[in-house]
Each structure stands twice: as structure tokens, then as C-alpha cells.
């Protein structure tokens, strides 16, 4: 299947109509469960629920064929208020100067470069606070 015949679904209800997306959704949920990322609980009175959204993305090979289907569950953090719902944020991102340095060193020392994509990498970070989301 080629690029022109695929569209990223923009809602969960559209995605689950297709077997390829249902499989990826199940894998994502299984990763949450095996990493003990969440648990079902009653909402304490003093807590505020954060909404979430499924993000669907098709990754393509250079020749335009589908490489894989990717999904993420994203908390709608824009509904939170700093100092009330959270204190600070952290997102580990590599700086371009670091990337350039590594590419330069690999060129100088003739190192072989390989790409690595870690599935569910964000699930391996422990949070100090509880994040409460409302299931669909």
C-alpha cells in the first residue's frame, strides 16, 4: 500500500474500524498494563481529571510503502494550571549541538551509525505525582 491510499485517523472511533489500528491499540494498552502504568480508581473529591486523546500516525519507508502504524495516548495538559495541577515540566530532548558532535565524531572515527526507536520509552519514567485521566 502506498502513501496516497492511507490517511492518519483523527479519532479513536475512526481508527478502530481498521484491523491495522486495532492491533496497534491493543499493543499500546498491553504495554501500559505490563509496565503497570495505570490503575483504575475512584476519583478523590479534591482531584481534577485530565482529558486525553489518541494520536495516530503512519510511518512510511523511503519508497512510500507503510513501515508501521504508531499511536500515542496524550494527556491534554493544556487544561492544567501551573502551581495548582502541576509544578514544573520536563521533556528530555537532545540538543542539535550534541547531535552534530556525535555525527562529527562518527565521521572522524569511522563509526557505524544506527537508528534506535524504543517503543513506549516514556513508560519507563516514574512520576512523583498521580495523573488522573478519564477513560473514554
pLDDT tens, 70-108? Answer: 998 887 777 777 777 666 666 667 889 999 999 999 999
Q: Which of 88, 91, 92 has its CA nearest to residue 128?
A: 88
For residue 2, pLDDT over 50 is answered with no
Return the pLDDT at 97.
94
Q: What is the pLDDT of residues 118-130, one digit of tens each?
A: 666 665 567 777 7
Q: Give pLDDT, residue 101.
A: 94
Which residue's entry shows cell 477513560?
A: 135
Distance of alpha carbon 9 from alpha carbon 15, whole angstroms: 6
With CA atoms as reference, report the closest residue to 73 among 37, 28, 35, 8. 28
Q: What is the pTM of this model?
A: 0.65
Amino acid at each position: 500500500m502506498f502513501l496516497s491510499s492511507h490517511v492518519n485517523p483523527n479519532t479513536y472511533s475512526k481508527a478502530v474500524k481498521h484491523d491495522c489500528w486495532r492491533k496497534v491499540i491493543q499493543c499500546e494498552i498491553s504495554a501500559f498494563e505490563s509496565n503497570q502504568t495505570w490503575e483504575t480508581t475512584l476519583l478523590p473529591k479534591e482531584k481534577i481529571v485530565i482529558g486525553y486523546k489518541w494520536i495516530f500516525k503512519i510511518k512510511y519507508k523511503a519508497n512510500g510503502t507503510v513501515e508501521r502504524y504508531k499511536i500515542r495516548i496524550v494527556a491534554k495538559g493544556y487544561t492544567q494550571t501551573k502551581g495548582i495541577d502541576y509544578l514544573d515540566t520536563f521533556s528530555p530532548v537532545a540538543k542539535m549541538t550534541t547531535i552534530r558532535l556525535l555525527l562529527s565524531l562518527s565521521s572522524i572515527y569511522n563509526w557505524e551509525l544506527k537508528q534506535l526507536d524504543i517503543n513506549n520509552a516514556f513508560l519507563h519514567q516514574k512520576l512523583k505525582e498521580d495523573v488522573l485521566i478519564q477513560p473514554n
